Amino acid sequence: MRDFLIDTDTASDDAVAIVMALAAPDVRVLGLTTVAGNVALGQATRNALYTAEICGSDAPVFMGAGAPLIRTLRDAHWFHGADGLGDQGYPPPQRGPEQEHAVDAILRLSRENPGLTLVTLGPLTNIALALARDPKLAARIGRCVVMGGAPCCEGNVTPAAEYNIWVDPEAARAVFRSRLPIEMVGWHVSRGSSVLSDAEVAAIEALGTEKARFAVEANSRAREAYRVQTGEVGLSLADPTAMAVALDRSVGLTWSRHRVAIETQSELTRGMTVVDRLGVNSDPINADVWGAAAGESDGADVLWTFDAQKFKAMLRAALAA
Long-range contact list for 74-78, CB < 8 A, 24+ apart?
A: 74/166, 74/167, 75/36, 75/37, 75/38, 75/39, 75/40, 76/11, 76/37, 76/38, 76/39, 76/157, 76/163, 77/38, 77/39, 78/225
Is the torsion defined by CA of 150, 260, 117, 121 positive or negative? negative
Helix (H, G, I), strand (E, B) or coil at 119: strand
Q: Which helix (H) or strand (E) holds 205?
A: helix 198-205
CA distance 71 to 130: 18
Q: What is the pTM of this model?
A: 0.96
CA distance 41 to 25: 29
For strands 252-258 and 300-306, give the pairing.
antiparallel
**Radius of gyration, CA atoms only, the chain:** 18
Q: What is the mean pLDDT of each run of 10 residues along the chain (321 residues)?
A: 98 98 98 98 98 98 98 97 98 98 98 98 98 98 98 92 98 96 97 97 98 98 96 97 98 95 94 90 66 71 97 98 87
- The pLDDT assigned to 308 comes to 98
- The pLDDT assigned to 292 comes to 63
Residue range of the domain that includes 117:
2-320
- The pLDDT assigned to 278 comes to 86
Nearest 10 degrees: Cα torsion 217, 218, 220, 224: -170
Domain count, the chain: 1
- The pLDDT assigned to 297 comes to 75
CB-count burial class (<10 Å; 0-12, 13-18, 19+) for 302: buried
Nearest 10 degrees: Cα torsion 40, 32, 4, 188: -20
- The pLDDT assigned to 156 comes to 95
- The pLDDT assigned to 178 comes to 94
Pair 109, 20: CB distance under 8 Å: no
* CATH number, position 89: 3.90.245.10
Helix (H, G, I), strand (E, B) or coil at 13: helix
